[in-house]
Amino acid sequence: MNKLVDRFLKYVKIDTQSDENSKFCPSTNKQLNLANKIVDELKNIGLQDISLDENGYVMATLPSNIDKKVPIIRFISHMDTSPDMSGTNVNPQIIENYNGEDIILNKEKNIILSPDDFPQIKNYVGQTLITTDGNTLLGADDKAGIAEIITAIEFLVNNPDIKHGTVKIGFTPDEEIGRGADLFDVKKFNADFAYTVDGGELGELEYETFNAAEAKINIAGRNIHPGVAKDKMINSILVAIRLNSMLPENQKPEYTTGYEGFFHLLDFKGSVDNTSLKYIIRDFDKKKFEEKKTLMTNAVKFLNSKYGKNIIDLEMNDQYYNMKEKIVPVIQIVETAKRAMIELGIEPKIFPVRGGTDGSKLSFMGLPTPNIFTGAHNYHGRFEYVPVQTMQKAVEVIVKITELFAVE
């Protein structure tokens, strides 16, 4: 367990924040700092076919140690952290034997990780937690996954009595900005299927995701002195507010759960003269997803017709689709992961992913890829934490999955 923790702490201290405004891959060169460190580790462990390509994708192979042919499986995590919060100078804190009470992350700023706000933390009384210091995110999304995969593979290398087929591992850049699989070389990857290790709490096992689109909107107003503005001014801020009001109030993230989709206003910058908005649109059901996009398009058309010209420009693009469509035909890969958890005394928790994962695009690229837990909570913010014992369980699940495919 100490090696797992040491590895994780080393990774989170490397800033790998991605940048959605960059046109390059990786979107930030600093992601290569972690990629190079991972490559060195994989060489020391003794893996084969280790590569780091020009786009920042790391791949490696653990050869089979059995004679019979079994499926080639891959485990994947991403190296970048969210662009929404700083990943610079991450200073993780270790809370041993957690007592179920408030954790003071930052005394100076009065930043407290409290079970009043995050009641799930009480599930980990008596365990060891790794938290932030209140100034940055932690980066367990997805450096916990990276640490768990490499620790599991190292365990298999050091325990050759555990029989397994060929196991491949891959680490991607830019997952947090929706590009993690864009330049992924599935042919080079050469696997029958894969698992992303990028989920949350103990037992999570997911093979359904949203259908996803983004909408970028620009509104060109007309700024006139307010004293003489009658019948001349077009206040783009008010147009934006009206556009937003035309979307269903109850279809916002804060009002939805389970299989419910939403419109999420991510960004709003405005003046009388010009306002820009950015939305993401999500739904598990493809028909409802298309209806949401049509509603957005029709709202823009209505307002443009009201003003008699195209003052609103809408750019809408699909981002990824529900991977269930590609995984159901090979549902045995989900069943094997479920069996691995049960044999380890872990209760599988199968529910839809209300977020993105590299597995969505990879599944549609021909590599069916469900998702398993890392143990982390409160991703992307200063209240992020991960229980060490759950991280160890993730390692054990990865090892057990490889065992099961060797004997089935």
Catalytic residues: 80, 175
Written as one string, the DSSP assignment of 144-160 is HHHHHHHHHHHHHHH-T
User: Distance between CA 355 and CA 188 in Å, rounded?
Assistant: 27
Q: Report DSSP state, residue 337.
A: H
User: Distance between CA 10 and CA 16 in Å, rounded?
Assistant: 12
Q: Residue 52 CA to chain centroid, in angstroms?
A: 21
User: Distance between CA 172 and CA 57 in Å, rounded?
Assistant: 5
295 in Cβ contact with 262 (< 8 Å): no
66 in Cβ contact with 163 (< 8 Å): yes
Close Cβ partners of 268 (under 8 Å, ≥ 6 residues apart): 240, 275, 276, 277, 278
Helices (H), 82-204: 140-158, 186-189
3-state secondary structure of 368: coil
18, two tokens: 């991605």
Q: Residue 393 CA to chain centroid, in angstroms?
A: 20
